[in-house]
């Protein structure tokens, strides 16, 4: 057997390695301060420093799928951009071993006056493809983007959806060893979002290294083996995804800013922009049709609920393309400050939804004798892919539950328990 030592050592090299990596921005209160700074040549300081990232030490091995979490402005995008080389570090170093493709600002490299086809050539060359490789792949890129009819028009005439489709198709076509994704797991709209998500999942299955940041902890937990939590530019935790997500969730719960940061559930509303079929669904997609909340059999958006007594039923109707696997449904309960208190999901309970040949289906989540304690709570509903990862559609705050309670117990939930008189044994 011939062992190629150089190949073995290459495979043991981290795909991404950073040492004491840091990025500092100079913030000027007014534009003229920049000029003054230039004229004084560093003898006086007219700016304030902002360390977007500090002392980041990472070793990401080939094939790892790493999720990056943190509040807005914590430094996630800065880290991804430093790894991609679109930002220069202020200190420390970053090493990348392998062909890297980034889905950061999609289409940032497009020239608006060039046609879609010309931009493919330009963009793919920037991403490292040779002329021959581009020639080989251009038809695939155009097909994947589904905008063949417009491919010879200048991209400035494109809708934002078309722009994103083209940019994603080019980025994904380079077959990278390392894929960097900044909040772009659901690219574009409708069926394209699912298709792009499937493409990313294929790369994961083929053992590619993937780094992505998302506000959806749910998506991070579903896809990643390891997670990094960044706060105010510092690495707060890294390691097993469940531990890191849980530590971050605890931090969010403790934070007075939790309200503004609660995009932790499957988040953004994703409404299909494609043309619906006669059955009301969009090709390759699914959407919520109707969500109704019933308290003791009566429909209500703003209901009085008796703690430990009332039954709450969340009725969800959806339509989906019958050609895609049947979707899954999740229901979450939030406190009014946005914190998610609990959730229920069909895939976790091994419940399979049913639908008509037209792709329409209904399911109810029934919460009997709801054990919430006094207070106000919000219900949200999510429609996801069969694996419970890709979000098709969501409806936030579909109903407010005003829970009334006898007695003085404090907290959010009554947890089943018993009291035992301790006889000292
Ligand atoms: N070009 C820039 N000039 C000055 N400050 C910047 C610049 N880019 C980012 N920052 C600051 O650096 C910090 C980190 O920003 P970054 O975009 O990396 O955060 P993030 O975690 O990706 O946020 P989000 O989740 O909102 O995308 C923020 O305080 C941001 O305001």
Confidence of residue 361 (pLDDT cuts 50, 70, 90): very high
- Cβ of 22 closer than 6 Å to ligand 1, yes or no, is no
Distances (CA, A) of 80 to 25, 26, 58, 68, 172: 16, 20, 12, 9, 17
pLDDT of residue 80: 92
May I ask the CATH architecture of the domain 286-404?
Distorted Sandwich (2.70)
Tell me the whole-structure pTM to 2 decimals.
0.70
Q: How far is the CA of 77 from the centre of ligand 1 (A)?
A: 7
pLDDT of residue 260: 40
Of ligand 1's listed atoms, the one at least distance from the Cα of 215 is 25
- Cβ of 81 closer than 6 Å to ligand 1, yes or no, is no
Q: What is the dihedral of CA 175, 181, 186, 189, to 10 degrees?
A: -70
- Closest listed residue to residue 79, CA positions, set 188, 180, 219: 180
d(CA 103, CA 99): 14
Phi, psi of 87 (to 5 degrees): -125, 150
Closest residue by Cα to atom 8, ligand 1, is 78
| pLDDT at residue 123 greater than cutoff 90 | no
25-45 residue pLDDT tens = 888 877 777 777 777 776 777
Of ligand 1's listed atoms, the one at least distance from the Cα of 75 is 18
pLDDT of residue 313: 95
pLDDT of residue 278: 54
- The answer to whether the 13-261 and 286-404 domains have the same CATH topology is no
Confidence of residue 239 (pLDDT cuts 50, 70, 90): very high
Distances (CA, A) of 311 to 305, 306, 308, 370, 380: 8, 9, 9, 6, 17
- Cβ of 413 closer than 6 Å to ligand 1, yes or no, is no
Instruction: Report the pLDDT averaged over residues 366-381.
Output: 93
- Cβ of 105 closer than 6 Å to ligand 1, yes or no, is no
Q: How confident is the prediction for the chain on average, in pLDDT?
A: 84
Q: At what angle do helices 116-126 and 160-173 cross, to 10 degrees?
A: 40
- Cβ of 77 closer than 6 Å to ligand 1, yes or no, is yes
| pLDDT at residue 257 greater than cutoff 80 | no
Instruction: Report the pLDDT averaged over residues 226-236.
Output: 94
* DSSP string computed for 55-86: EEEEEE-TT-EEEEE-STTSSHHHHHHHHHTS
Identify the weakest region by mean pLDDT among 130-139, 241-250, 371-380. 241-250
Of ligand 1's listed atoms, the one at least distance from the Cα of 79 is 18
Instruction: Report the pLDDT averaged over residues 190-198.
Output: 77
Closest residue by Cα to atom 31, ligand 1, is 73
Closest residue by Cα to atom 30, ligand 1, is 73
Instruction: Report the pLDDT averaged over residues 229-244.
Output: 92
d(CA 168, CA 188): 9
- Closest listed residue to residue 219, CA positions, set 388, 394, 396: 388
- Cβ of 52 closer than 6 Å to ligand 1, yes or no, is yes
d(CA 394, CA 58): 35
- Cβ of 332 closer than 6 Å to ligand 1, yes or no, is no
Query: 13-261 domain in CATH 3.40.50.300?
Result: yes
Closest residue by Cα to atom 25, ligand 1, is 72
Of ligand 1's listed atoms, the one at least distance from the Cα of 80 is 18
pLDDT of residue 263: 40
Instruction: Report the pLDDT averaged over residues 187-211.
Output: 80
Sketch the domain layout of the chain as residue ranges. Answer: 13-261, 286-404
| pLDDT at residue 264 greater than cutoff 90 | no
pLDDT of residue 11: 58
49-96 residue pLDDT tens = 889 999 999 999 999 999 999 988 899 989 999 998 889 999 999 999
Helix (H) or strand (E) holding 382: strand 375-384
- Cβ of 78 closer than 6 Å to ligand 1, yes or no, is yes
299-357 residue pLDDT tens = 877 788 999 999 999 999 999 989 899 999 999 998 887 788 899 999 999 999 999 99
267-305 residue pLDDT tens = 333 333 444 555 567 777 888 888 999 998 888 777 889
Compute the Cα dihedral for 300, 301, 304, 309 and give only its sign: positive
Nearest-Å Rg of the Cα atoms of the chain is 25
- Cβ of 73 closer than 6 Å to ligand 1, yes or no, is yes
- Reported ipTM: the value is 0.96
- Cβ of 72 closer than 6 Å to ligand 1, yes or no, is yes
Confidence of residue 108 (pLDDT cuts 50, 70, 90): low
Of ligand 1's listed atoms, the one at least distance from the Cα of 81 is 18
Mutation choice for ligand 1 from 74, 80, 262, CB with most ligand atoms inside 8 A: 74
């Amino acid at each position: 057997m011939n062992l190629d030592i150089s190949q073995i050592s290459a495979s043991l090299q981290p795909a991404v390695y950073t040492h004491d990596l840091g990025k500092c921005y100079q913030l000027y209160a007014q534009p003229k301060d920049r000029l003054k700074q230039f004229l004084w040549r560093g003898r006086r300081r007219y700016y304030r420093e902002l360390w977007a990232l500090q002392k980041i030490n990472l070793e990401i091995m080939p094939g790892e799928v790493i999720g990056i979490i943190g509040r807005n402005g914590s430094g996630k995008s800065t880290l991804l951009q430093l790894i991609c080389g679109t930002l220069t570090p202020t200190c420390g170093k970053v090493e990348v071993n392998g062909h890297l493709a980034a889905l950061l600002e999609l289409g940032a490299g497009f020239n608006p006056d060039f046609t879609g086809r010309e931009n493919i050539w330009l963009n793919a060359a920037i991403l490292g493809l040779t002329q021959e490789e581009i020639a080989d792949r251009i038809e695939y890129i155009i097909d994947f983007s589904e905008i063949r009819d417009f491919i010879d028009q200048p991209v400035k005439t494109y809708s934002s959806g078309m722009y994103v489709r083209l940019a994603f198709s080019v980025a994904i076509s380079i077959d990278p060893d390392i894929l960097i994704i900044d909040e772009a797991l659901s690219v574009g709209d409708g069926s394209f979002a699912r298709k792009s998500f499937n493409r990313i999942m294929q790369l994961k299955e083929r053992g590619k290294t993937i780094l992505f940041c998302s506000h959806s902890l749910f998506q991070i937990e579903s896809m990643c083996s390891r997670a990094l939590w960044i706060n105010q530019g510092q690495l707060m935790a890294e390691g097993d995804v469940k531990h890191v997500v849980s530590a971050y969730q605890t931090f969010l719960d403790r934070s007075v800013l939790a309200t503004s940061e609660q995009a932790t559930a499957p988040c953004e509303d994703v409404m299909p922009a494609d043309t619906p079929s006669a059955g009301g669904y969009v090709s390759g997609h699914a959407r919520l049709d109707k969500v109704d909340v019933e308290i003791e059999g009566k429909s209500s958006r703003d209901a009085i609920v008796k703690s430990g007594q009332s039954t709450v039923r969340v009725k969800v109707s959806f339509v989906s393309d019958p050609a895609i696997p049947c979707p899954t449904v999740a229901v979450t309960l939030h406190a009014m400050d946005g914190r998610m208190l609990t959730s229920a999901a069909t895939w976790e309970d091994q419940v399979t939804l049913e639908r008509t040949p037209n792709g329409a289906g209904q399911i109810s989540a029934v919460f009997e004798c709801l054990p919430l304690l006094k207070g106000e709570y919000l219900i949200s509903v999510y429609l996801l892919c069969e694996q419970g990862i890709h979000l098709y559609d969501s409806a936030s705050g579909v109903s407010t539950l005003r829970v009334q309670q006898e007695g003085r117990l404090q907290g959010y939930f009554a947890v089943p328990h018993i009291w035992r008189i301790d006889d000292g044994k």
